[in-house]
Amino acid sequence: MNGTTGSTQRNDHDRGVIVVGAGPTGLLLAGDLAEAGIPVTLLEKRRHGISNLSRAFVVHARTLEQLDARGLADELEAKGQRLDRLRLFDRLALDLSTLPSRFKHLLVLPQYEIETALERRAVEAGVHFAYETEVTGLTQDGEEVTVEVRGPDGSAATRRAAYVVGTDGLRSAVREAIGQPFPGRSVIRSVVLADVLLAEQPETLLTVNAVGDAFAFIAPFGDGYYRVIGWHRGRDVPDSEPVDLEEIKEITRLALGRDFGMHDARWMSRFHSDERQAPQYRVGRVFLAGDAAHVHTPAGGQGMNTGLQDAASLSWKLAAVLDGHAPEGLLNTYQTERHPVGKAVLRSSGGIVRLAMAKRPWTLAARAALTALLGVACPVRAKVVGQVTGIGYAYPAPRGAHPLTGKRVPDVALHDGRRLYEALRGGKFVLITAADTEIEPGDRKDRLTTAHWTTDRRTALLVRPDGYAAWASDAPDEATIEDALTTATGPASAVGRRSAGAERVGTAHDGGN
């Protein structure tokens, strides 16, 4: 997948946006941009090939909705297994069957399956991949970003783009290059992982529990192997310390009461779990998303999901600005919308871990109280479920805006037989109006589709490409709707155009990539 250019050529795949990191976040973002017609290059320092050594196994409802808006959810649902209860620790499980979503469950599916689907989509959309390409430096000015890279043969190269997005993980080279700190700390050290065969099949799809000194998690790969993650309070050793199967068995027995006869490990490793967040997700023309912007404990399975939702928030904004349909200031909303969500996920995942590992009397009492509260208090339970699944997050709205503005929009039925998230495919806004209100996309048909409610509802609702309400009115007229469309999608007569910066950028010296 590596392209080759001369030292002074400019190529379409090197203009527009450079995404660094070919994990789930980078793949979704790059695919969105390419589908919108933005030239995009995805740099990845690893060799081409998706590893099956996944850490993420849970796909939550809000992420499934975003994948649905890209035509991938049904395919992935067929490959995974559904679970309508998420167990956080002994006696505390979240009931997902009443979620206000098409996906009233979580999907148990290894991360590599998500990456495979997103990579295929990105390739089909025209993303240019450059594997074995490592970012070694980055500079920017008011018009472009220059990225210094080292190619597969060790040679230096320079790439330029209008914008760069770092989705390159915990040790992000992009974050380091723009001087962003990554404050936080290691929460759990010496977590062990293994892929094993089991002599005894667990009774539940996801097996998880914690006691005062140990935690264990077991999930199926779908190929006969199971991923086991474990931690023991008394085993605090460096990540470099070798792991053996007996250690993993012992931790599993402590946490789960038995080790299920695990054998024939095909892979074992040790890592530590951090809680960190970059203060700024945007520095000039450079953005951070996914683990490059925030890392959390594995509790609740929120890490990959949060990154994918970062990408869904950023991609349409970059496309709108580069196409000339939105002012550059729109990109600032990525920080105001996603940074608070990342902070909230840090709090919720960290809280789950601390309660799961409770040992002192007052923390055990707090866990017991929370378990009891979630069992009876519907508003509290709904809030916790909304946070863990991503369904409950909303974005800031201007003062005086309609109450729906900034809220996630459910997958409502439309008059033409489509669902909303089917209508969102292609990265367009969707305007939903009453049946007797006729608004044609006209010159906006490249970025807007229109539909009617299937009921007698009179509210006009403009839904952003990421499924959140951009604007709404309970008493709309054509002039009001036109004003809202102009604000959100640009003037009707605006013709898509790349910014001067995007047209200028290219490869100064490509070094064989």
* CATH number of the domain that residue 439 is part of: 3.40.30.120
Do 336 and 456 reside in the same domain of the chain? no
What pLDDT, on a 0 to 100 scale, did the predictor assign at position 363? 62
Write out pLDDT tens, residues 58-113: 999 999 999 999 999 999 999 999 999 877 666 667 789 989 999 999 999 999 99
| Cα–Cα distances in angstroms (integers) from residue 110 to residues 113, 116, 304, 333, in the given order | 6, 10, 11, 31
Q: Tokens 């910066």 map to which residue?
A: 501
Q: For residues 169 and 508, what is the distance between their CA atoms, to the nearest angstrom?
A: 27
Phi and psi at residue 312, to the nearest 5°: -65, -30
What pLDDT, on a 0 to 100 scale, did the predictor assign at position 10? 38
Q: What confidence category does residue 328 fall into, taking pLDDT thresholds of 50, 70 and 90?
A: very high
Q: What confidence category does residue 136 fall into, taking pLDDT thresholds of 50, 70 and 90?
A: very high
The answer, as to whether pTM is greater than 0.85, is yes
Do 270 and 191 reside in the same domain of the chain? yes
Task: Choose the weakest-confidence range: 225-229, 314-318, 418-422.
Answer: 225-229
DSSP secondary structure letters along 314-353: HHHHHHHHHTTSS-GGGGGHHHHHHHHHHHHHHHHHHHHH
Residue 307 falls within a domain, yes or no? yes
Residue 392 falls within a domain, yes or no? no
Q: For residues 55 and 76, what is the distance between their CA atoms, to the nearest angstrom?
A: 17
Task: Choose the weakest-confidence range: 56-60, 368-372, 464-468.
Answer: 368-372
Do 322 and 427 reside in the same domain of the chain? no
* Mean pLDDT in residue range 199-223: 86
Task: Choose the weakest-confidence range: 122-126, 184-188, 200-204, 502-506.
Answer: 502-506
Q: What confidence category does residue 5 fall into, taking pLDDT thresholds of 50, 70 and 90?
A: very low
The last residue of a domain, from among 230, 247, 274: 274
Q: 25: closest CA among 126, 138, 114?
A: 114
Task: Choose the weakest-confidence range: 52-56, 228-232, 297-301.
Answer: 52-56
- Angle separating helix axes 378-389 and 361-376, nearest 10 degrees: 100
* Mean pLDDT in residue range 423-436: 96
Residue 76 falls within a domain, yes or no? no
One-letter amino acid at 144 equals E
The total number of residues shown for the chain amounts to: 513
- Which tokens hold the place of 145? 């970003």
Q: 102: closest CA among 73, 70, 76?
A: 73
Write out pLDDT tens, residues 246-300: 999 999 999 899 999 999 999 899 988 889 999 999 999 999 999 999 998 877 6
Specify whether the CB–CB gap between 45 and 152 falls below 8 A. no
Write out pLDDT tens, residues 230-246: 888 888 888 889 999 99
Secondary structure tally for the chain: helices H, strands E: 13, 25
Residue 372 falls within a domain, yes or no? no
Do 177 and 297 reside in the same domain of the chain? yes
Query: Could you tell me where the DSSP H helices lie in 86-240?
Result: 111-125, 173-177
Do 191 and 266 reside in the same domain of the chain? yes
Q: Tokens 């805006």 map to which residue?
A: 401
Q: What confidence category does residue 360 fall into, taking pLDDT thresholds of 50, 70 and 90?
A: low
Q: What confidence category does residue 385 fall into, taking pLDDT thresholds of 50, 70 and 90?
A: confident
What pLDDT, on a 0 to 100 scale, did the predictor assign at position 238? 87
The last residue of a domain, from among 216, 243, 274: 274
Do 129 and 247 reside in the same domain of the chain? no
Do 289 and 224 reside in the same domain of the chain? no
- Tell whether the model's pLDDT for residue 151 goes beyond 70: yes
CATH code of residue 167: 3.50.50.60
Q: What residues have CB less than 8 Å from 119, skipping those under 6 apart? A: 22, 27, 50
Q: For residues 182 and 167, what is the distance between their CA atoms, to the nearest angstrom?
A: 14
Q: 390: closest CA among 291, 459, 274, 312?
A: 312
Specify whether the CB–CB gap between 139 and 120 falls below 8 A. no
Structural domain that includes position 136: 9-20+29-52+123-182+278-355+497-513
Do 127 and 226 reside in the same domain of the chain? no
Phi and psi at residue 217, to the nearest 5°: -140, 135
Q: What confidence category does residue 409 fall into, taking pLDDT thresholds of 50, 70 and 90?
A: very high
Do 443 and 504 reside in the same domain of the chain? no
- Tell whether the model's pLDDT for residue 12 goes beyond 60: no
Q: What confidence category does residue 49 fall into, taking pLDDT thresholds of 50, 70 and 90?
A: confident
Q: What confidence category does residue 370 fall into, taking pLDDT thresholds of 50, 70 and 90?
A: low
- Which tokens hold the place of 230? 């474990």
What pLDDT, on a 0 to 100 scale, did the predictor assign at position 124? 98
One-letter amino acid at 255 equals A
CATH code of residue 195: 3.30.70.2450
Residue 413 falls within a domain, yes or no? no
What pLDDT, on a 0 to 100 scale, did the predictor assign at position 503? 39
Q: What confidence category does residue 359 fall into, taking pLDDT thresholds of 50, 70 and 90?
A: low
Residue 227 falls within a domain, yes or no? yes
CA 93, distance to chain mean position in Å, is 24
Residue 328 falls within a domain, yes or no? yes
Mean pLDDT of the chain: 87
Do 261 and 287 reside in the same domain of the chain? no
Specify whether the CB–CB gap between 390 and 381 falls below 8 A. no
| Cα–Cα distances in angstroms (integers) from residue 97 to residues 100, 102, 104, 311, in the given order | 9, 10, 5, 27
Q: What percent of the chain has pLDDT over 90?
A: 68
Residue 144 falls within a domain, yes or no? yes
Fill in the DSSP letter of residue 205.
S
Total of domains in the chain? 3
- Which tokens hold the place of 372? 């009891």
Q: For residues 235 and 209, what is the distance between their CA atoms, to the nearest angstrom?
A: 18
Do 46 and 155 reside in the same domain of the chain? yes
The better pLDDT of the pair 160, 1 is held by: 160
Q: For residues 366 and 376, what is the distance between their CA atoms, to the nearest angstrom?
A: 16
Element at 75 (helix H, strand E)? helix 73-79
Do 129 and 269 reside in the same domain of the chain? no
* Mean pLDDT in residue range 215-241: 88
What pLDDT, on a 0 to 100 scale, did the predictor assign at position 415? 96
The last residue of a domain, from among 274, 308, 330: 274
Task: Choose the weakest-confidence range: 294-298, 313-317, 404-408.
Answer: 294-298
Specify whether the CB–CB gap between 32 and 54 falls below 8 A. no
